[in-house]
């Protein structure tokens, strides 16, 4: 019984370490969206909600012709931050 308990504790510890590593990577190294399509979809969803419409595919389709730059401007993301 003791060996089974040690194996279970080891498995839990390894899983916890892997999850902690994932969170650290996500928090410090991942920046922005994975692709421009993903960025546009997120901005489009935010824009539709800002207009007071439900975030549905039908409402997104109405504004899909907007460029990423137009969406950023409408959402107030057009200002550049100088570091």
- How many domains, in total, are found in the chain? 2
pTM confidence score: 0.54
Residues 20 and 41 both lie in one domain: no
User: Cβ-count burial of 37 within 10 angstroms (0-12 exposed, 13-18 middle, 19+ buried)?
Assistant: exposed
Contact 46, 76 (CB under 8 A): no
Please give the average per-residue pLDDT across 37-52, as a whole number. 86
Judged against a pLDDT cut of 70, whether residue 12 lies above it is answered with yes
> In the chain, what percentage of residues exceed pLDDT 90?
2
Per the structure block, which two tokens stand in for 48?
Answer: 């539709």
User: Looking at the structure, do residues 42 and 71 belong to the same domain, yes or no?
Assistant: yes
The set of residues, in sequence order, having a beta carbon less than 8 Å from that of 33 and lying 6+ positions away, is 39, 42
Tell me what pLDDT residue 1 has: 61
Q: Does a structural domain hold residue 58?
A: yes
Is 83 contained in some domain? no
| 10 and 27 housed in the same domain | yes
Domain hosting residue 69, numbered range: 36-75
| Residue 66 counted as domain residue | yes
């Amino acid at each position: 019984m003791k060996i089974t308990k040690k194996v279970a504790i080891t498995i839990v510890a390894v899983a916890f370490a892997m999850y902690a590593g994932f969170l650290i990577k996500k928090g410090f190294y991942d920046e922005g969206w994975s692709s421009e399509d993903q960025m546009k979809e997120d901005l489009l969803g935010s824009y539709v909600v800002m207009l007071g419409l439900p975030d549905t595919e039908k409402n997104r389709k109405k504004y899909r012709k907007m460029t990423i730059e137009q969406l950023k401007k409408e959402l107030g993301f057009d200002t550049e931050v100088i570091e």
